[in-house]
């Protein structure tokens, strides 16, 4: 496969166009342009149909595919201006802003800000994000993560119901606006991550089965039919997905892809689809001289996902770690129901700081099985952690953020736990100022039966979790509007203070090499179980220093023993101080050689230390 250009769908080549589509079951395939011109496609090997050097298609022209006379949108369309049931639009992706001097930053330096285009700004589009980029930069963020932008039914959706993986949602601004946003981010020094979904496709506007065997009954997913990656005819599906991943890197200059729920991708081929995506990404990187990253969401503690293809791994550069989040929230007194029931709070949090995975072969009650494997030998930069994200907030029945679940002091502690961890930290939009608006689940499907099925699915999900009350109607426009960020909160003293606290934490992370090391062997967790507290030692191999982080999740003042080999040198941060609206009117003074350190309830302290 040639990664230098897109080999599927409608593509521009100078003054003419080429078209290639996979439709192995078709007897005749035609392009219908502007409901006037009809172009016959020629059958090729392996079920492909092509037409080259087409001169009567111009940019912005609308077109349909006719499969044995049936009119359908292009499954590789890059624009659906009239929605998922309408015609596709010709767009020249070659004419995009070129980042002349931009080079992707090392993954270890990523500080990620996850946002949803529709709810991040009042405008709910790419332009609205562009207007707020300076806020993100001033916060200290280095990488913006966009939740999925693939075209979906209606005007509002989380994005995980996309049915045209190549098309950019029109209500967000379409493909050219996304290209411009990426170029603007790069000009301001921000990397861009895009969330993509390859484990399933949405229900409305999904015409893929009209073209070929895109789905298989061999496997099941929680979201519908499994994508066919290893059954008969899967070669066309695999090329379709690989082409999509490469398009985002090559044609939009996206820096990293976050691959949704890869544990739901079922593939028993000799070369897994993730390996193939990795190989083609590496090839593109060699051709362009730019680095691209693949970051998987995966709830399997299997380091094969983040091992290189040469080691027979699946070639992902990193993965999200839900287990850190679960242990963190249980330490903060989250009720132990659902998947939280498997976590022992402070002890498991300490294990995650050192090992990334919590379950590394232990018995899991929730899974009723022995689960996981050690990630020893992998760099900490391969793991992304968070105290909240779109899933962990939006999959709650009422979409509550940490700001409505925890005290102001605990929110600061959660922020510090993430931003001083040895992993890549991720913030969810608005958490930096303690946003109080919920992030709810919302859709805009037009099929009444489908809408009702979604409503019933949500009810059953929460009933199974023993939650009382009624989930907000996902179809109601008000559910979407309630999920928008309230930027006016930044005028309030508490919210502005929280923002400054986040800025200070990020500045410490960037300043001190001890907080930047990617070697998990330099991390030591000291667990104080009765006190529900932790001390995390962050060493630096090159210096005779470390940073000691104290985390008190209890509601009492605690005295924690200093590790015997360390001498306290300087206090860097105390979340309980008055400047952070904490209970301490004056900073506490700690003697240089005190064997114990005092820490306020629900608070965080960081010290520099010297080795004895």
Closest residue by Cα to residue 182 from 96, 93, 247? 96
The number of CA neighbours under 13 Å toward the Cβ of 416 is: 31
Catalytic member of 297, 334, 435, 602:
297
Mark whether 297 is an active-site residue. Answer: yes
CA angle 574, 576, 580 (to 5 degrees): 90
Q: How far apart are CA 340 and CA 48, in angstroms?
A: 48
8 Å CB contact between 429 and 116 = yes
Burial environment of residue 76 by CB neighbours within 10 A (0 to 12, 13 to 18, 19 or more) = buried
Query: Which regions of 529-595 does DSSP assign to beta strands (E)?
Result: 533-539, 545-552, 558-561, 566-574
State the catalytic residue, choosing from 61, 114, 195, 260.
260
Nearest to 222 by CA among 177, 160, 153: 160
Task: State the sign of the Cα–Cα–Cα–Cα dihedral 319, 324, 325, 327.
Answer: positive
Residue-by-residue DSSP string for 119-130: HHSSS-SHHHHH
Residues 483 and 437 sit within 8 Å (Cβ to Cβ): yes
Instruction: Give the DSSP letter of residue 147.
Output: P
CA distances from 295 to 265, 339, 354, 384, 468 (A): 14, 23, 21, 9, 35
Q: Report the alpha-carbon distance of residue 260 to residue 258 in Å, rounded.
A: 6
Show the 3-state SS of 196-221: ECCCCCCCCCCCHHHCCCCEEEEEEE
Instruction: Confirm whether 260 is a catalytic residue.
Output: yes
End-to-end, the C-alpha distance of the chain in Å comes to 58
Distance CA 5, CA 243 (A): 9
Tokens representing residue 495 in the block = 């919210």
Residues labelled as active-site residues? 260, 297
């Amino acid at each position: 496969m040639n990664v230098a250009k897109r080999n599927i769908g409608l593509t521009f080549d100078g003054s003419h166009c080429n078209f290639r589509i996979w439709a192995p079951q078709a007897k005749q395939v035609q392009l219908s342009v502007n409901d006037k011109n009809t172009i016959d496609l020629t059958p090729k090997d392996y079920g492909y149909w092509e037409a080259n050097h087409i001169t009567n298609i111009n940019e912005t022209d609308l077109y349909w595919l006719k499969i044995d006379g049936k009119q359908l949108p292009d499954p590789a369309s890059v624009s659906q201006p009239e929605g998922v049931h309408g015609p596709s639009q010709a767009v020249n992706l070659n004419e995009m802003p070129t980042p002349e001097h931009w080079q992707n930053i090392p993954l270890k330096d990523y500080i990620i800000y996850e946002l949803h285009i529709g709810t991040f700004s009042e405008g709910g589009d790419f332009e609205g994000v562009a207007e707020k980029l300076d806020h993100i930069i001033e916060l200290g963020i280095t990488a913006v993560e966009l939740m999925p932008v693939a075209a979906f039914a209606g005007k509002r959706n989380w994005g995980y119901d996309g049915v045209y993986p190549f098309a950019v949602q029109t209500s967000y601004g379409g493909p050219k606006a996304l290209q411009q946003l990426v170029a603007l981010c790069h000009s301001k020094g921000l990397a861009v991550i895009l969330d993509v979904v390859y484990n399933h496709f949405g229900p409305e506007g999904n015409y893929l089965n009209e073209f070929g065997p895109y789905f298989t009954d061999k496997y099941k997913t929680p979201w519908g039919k499994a994508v066919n990656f290893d059954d008969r005819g899967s070669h066309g599906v695999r090329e379709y997905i690989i082409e999509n991943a490469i398009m985002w890197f090559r044609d939009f200059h996206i820096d990293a892809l976050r691959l949704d729920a890869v544990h739901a991708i079922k593939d028993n081929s000799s070369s897994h689809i993730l390996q193939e995506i990795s190989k083609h990404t590496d090839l593109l990187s060699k051709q362009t001289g730019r680095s691209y990253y693949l970051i998987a969401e995966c709830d399997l503690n299997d380091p094969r996902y983040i091992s290189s293809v040469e080691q027979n791994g699946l070639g992902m550069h990193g993965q999200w770690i839900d287990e850190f989040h679960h242990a963190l929230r249980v330490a903060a007194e989250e009720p132990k129901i659902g998947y939280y029931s498997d976590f022992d709070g402070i002890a498991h949090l300490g294990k995650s700081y050192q090992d990334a995975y919590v379950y590394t072969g232990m018995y899991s009650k929730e899974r009723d099985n022995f689960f996981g494997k050690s990630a020893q030998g992998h760099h900490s930069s391969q793991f992304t952690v968070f105290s909240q994200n779109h899933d962990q907030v939006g999959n709650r029945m009422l979409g509550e953020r940490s700001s409505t679940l925890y005290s102001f002091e605990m929110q600061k502690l959660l922020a510090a736990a993430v931003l001083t961890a040895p992993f890549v930290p991720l913030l969810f939009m608005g958490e930096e100022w303690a946003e109080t608006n919920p992030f709810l689940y919302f859709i805009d499907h037009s099929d009444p039966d489908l809408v009702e099925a979604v409503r019933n699915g949500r009810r059953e999900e929460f009933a199974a979790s023993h939650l009382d009350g009624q989930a907000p109607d996902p179809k109601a426009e008000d559910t979407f509007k309630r999920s928008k960020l309230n930027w006016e909160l930044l005028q309030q003293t508490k919210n502005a203070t929280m923002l400054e606290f986040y800025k200070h934490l990020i500045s410490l992370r960037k300043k001190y090499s001890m907080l930047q090391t990617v070697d998990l062997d330099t991390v030591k967790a000291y667990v104080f179980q009765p006190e529900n507290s932790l001390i995390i030692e962050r060493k630096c191999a090159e210096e005779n220093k470390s940073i000691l982080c104290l985390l008190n999740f209890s509601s009492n003042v605690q005295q924690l023993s200093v590790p015997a080999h360390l001498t306290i040198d300087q206090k860097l941060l105390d979340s309980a101080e008055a400047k952070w609206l904490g209970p301490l009117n004056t900073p506490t003074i700690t003697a240089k050689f005190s064997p114990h350190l005092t820490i306020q309830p629900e608070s965080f302290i960081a010290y520099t230390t010297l080795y004895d």
